[in-house]
Amino acid sequence: MAWDFETEPEFQEKLDWMDAFVRDEVEPLDRIRLHPYDVKNPLYAKLVRPLQAEVKKQGLWACHLGPDLGGQGYGQVKLGLMNEILGRSHFAPSVFGCQAPDTGNAEIIAHYGTAAQKAKYLQPLLNNEIVSAFSMSEPTGGADPLTFTTRAELDGDHWVINGEKWFSTNAKWAEFLIVMAVSDPDGPPYQRMSMFIVPCDTPGVEIVRNVGVGYGDEGSEGYMRYTNVRVPADHLLGERGGAFAISQTRLGGGRIHHAMRTVGQGKRALDLMCQRAVSRTTRDGPLSGKQAVQMMIADAWIELQQFRLMVLHTAWLIDKHRDYRKVRKDIAAVKVAMPRVYHSIASKALHLHGALGVSNEMPFVGQVIGSFVMGIADGPTEVHQETLAKQLLRHYQPSNDLFPAYSLLNRREEALEKFAEILAEHEEAA
């Protein structure tokens, strides 16, 4: 029986090194005016590249990749434990070479790109020399692919793309986009779309505006417009009409990695809440002595621990089956729980800090908004609830009797029939 909650000592040493390195060297980067995806900024070369070199020296660079692509090929359980640490810092994924959406885009090119595309885009992407964007959602229908209107039409040896996309993350810094467009409008519903590599300097590619999340400065969510954008026929990724299947494989991994990093954010909020509770005093003692505060902290710890175990169990299932489709139910459950747990813990931490908690001098407002983002990104919560329910219900058969077979009266009749002989003997002996 293999059922173990221990971490092997050698890997625990790596986690301990990561914990100290992220705390002392990476988290300070979050406090300066530099974006994790602004890789061409001179400050990035001075501040981030040396840290990346140290990560590579430790053998912890891009650990989600196989050795053929420069990584360690770690399974999802190990990645889960690592991402709990990386989730504390916005910069940490970039420092460790596992930043989204580049990770998912690299996976697509590695599987479906031509040799020339891999040379031009894949290796620089894996090296964090360039940035990419995933251009899927649309302003009219969100992330529902059956409502997409962006078209890709084959014209000789080129595809011509027209349409608009919404929330193409990091488009302002991207070297290329992976665009999902309708190539076969008369095909079966989930075989109408294809994926394309679109270099950002292609004529007709336009960023209408960069949308921010919440309040603050200009954001990095690209509102894209494609006007007669021509790309060579070999820029089609995978099979024609295969975009939905490709995106689901990509998003499956992305969803569980989001959840792993959310554990890190939840732990961060809980730590700050506990620190506040033992530090802040009222007229009759510290907040930590108040029963209401104690209950908030206890509930937050329970929520975080439940969610963490759910995430790690799902990661273990992915490692076991090596097929996201077989773990679809569990990934959906994690995706549903993620924004709820994140919001619950972050809002408690915010509340415990009072007026300071809602200010821009604390991270809690950003975390609360982030919890709503997690309920929308990679598919809204309701879609995953529906997926989970359908996966569960397929194992049940209807019963058309007037009263359910599992009613206590029916179960009693079954029990009496099952034990009739023994009960009769017992009554005769009595």
Q: Which one has a higher pLDDT value, 409 or 245?
A: 409
CA–CA distances in Å: residue 189 to residues 134, 135, 193, 239, 371: 21, 19, 9, 15, 31
Tell me, yes or no, whether 278 and 387 share the same domain.
yes
DSSP string, 401-414: SSS-TTSHHHHHHH
Residues 6+ apart with CB under 8 A from 319: 75, 76, 77
The kind and range of the H/E element at 164 are strand 158-169
Task: Please give the average per-residue pLDDT across 79-98, as a whole number.
Answer: 96
User: Cα(254)–Cα(64) distance, rounded to whole angstroms?
Assistant: 11
At 31, the pLDDT band (50, 70, 90 cuts) reads very high
How far is the C-alpha of 114 from the C-alpha of 234, rounded, in Å?
8
pLDDT at residue 1, rounded to an integer: 57
**pLDDT tens per residue across span 397-406:** 988 788 898 9
Whether residue 69 has pLDDT greater than 90: no
| Chain centroid offset of residue 109 CA | 19
Q: Which tokens is 148 given?
A: 């997409």
Residue 387 shares a structural domain with residue 257: yes
Retrieve residue 187's tokens: 């095909």
Residue 106 lies in a domain: no
* Claim to verify: residue 190 and residue 318 sit in the same structural domain: no
- Please indicate, yes or no, if residue 117 is contained in any of the structural domains: no
- Report the interhelical angle of 291-321 vs 243-279 (nearest 10°): 150
> Residue 314 has what pLDDT?
96
Structural domain including 408 reads 398-430
**Alpha-helix runs per DSSP H in 280-363:** 291-321, 328-352, 354-357
- The mean pLDDT of 100-116, rounded to a whole number, is 90
The answer to whether residues 109 and 125 touch, using CB atoms and an 8 Å cutoff, is yes
Are 223 and 262 in a shared domain? no
Q: Is residue 91 part of a domain?
A: yes
Q: What are phi and psi of 417, to 5 degrees?
A: -70, -40
Model confidence over 139-175: pLDDT tens digits? 987 778 889 999 999 999 999 999 999 999 999 999 9
Same domain, 208 and 258: no
Compare 400 and 385 and report the one with higher pLDDT. Answer: 385
Domain count, the chain: 4
Cβ atoms within 10 Å of 227's Cβ, excluding its own = 13
Cβ burial of 211 (10 Å; 0-12, 13-18, 19+) is middle
Work out the pLDDT band at 252, boundaries 50, 70, 90: low
269 and 377 both lie in a single domain: yes
Residue 336 belongs to domain with CATH number: 1.20.140.10
**pLDDT higher than threshold 80 for residue 248:** no
Q: What pLDDT score does 217 carry?
A: 67
C-alpha torsion 425→427→429→430, nearest 10: 160
The pairing of strands 132-135 and 176-182 is parallel
409 lies in the same domain as 428? yes
State the chain's mean pLDDT as an integer.
93
CA 237 from centre of chain: 22
- What pLDDT is stored for residue 107 in this prediction? 87
In a domain, 349, yes or no: yes
Helix orientation angle between 364-374 and 328-352, rounded to the nearest 10 degrees: 160
| Residue 405 within a domain | yes
Query: Does any domain span residue 107?
Result: no
Q: Output the six-digit token pair for 218.
A: 């200009």
List 28's β-bridge partners, or say none.
Answer: none
Tokens of 31: 């406090």
What the block records as the tokens of 272 is 């700050």
17-26, 43-52, 210-219, 279-288: segment of lowest average pLDDT? 210-219
What is the reported pLDDT for 260? 93
Polymer length in residues for the chain: 430
Task: Tell which of 226, 241, 256 closes a domain.
Answer: 241
Contact 183, 240 (CB under 8 A): yes
Q: Write the pLDDT tens digit of every residue in 402-418.
A: 889 899 999 999 999 99
Mean pLDDT within 266-293: 96
List, for residues 195-239, the tens digit of each pLDDT value. 999 999 999 999 999 999 987 667 999 999 999 999 999 999 999
| Confidence band of 427 (pLDDT split at 50, 70, 90) | confident
Q: Where residue 179 sits, what CATH number does that domain have?
A: 2.40.110.10
Q: Which of 219, 241, 263 marks a domain boundary?
A: 241
Terminal Cα-to-Cα distance of the chain (whole angstroms): 47
> Tens digits of per-residue pLDDT, 281-319?
998 899 999 999 999 999 999 999 999 999 999 999 999
Burial class (CB in 10 A: 0-12, 13-18, 19+), 236: buried
The residue-averaged pLDDT of 84-108 equals 94
What letter does residue 225 receive in the DSSP assignment?
E
pLDDT at residue 2 in the model: 67
271 with 381, same domain? Answer: yes
Is 355 within the bounds of a domain?
yes
Is cis: bond before 101, omega within 30 of 0?
yes
Report if residue 147 sits inside a domain: yes
Q: What is the mean pLDDT of residues 357-372?
A: 96
389 and 249 both lie in a single domain:
yes
Residue 376 exposure: Cα atoms within 13 Å on the Cβ side: 9
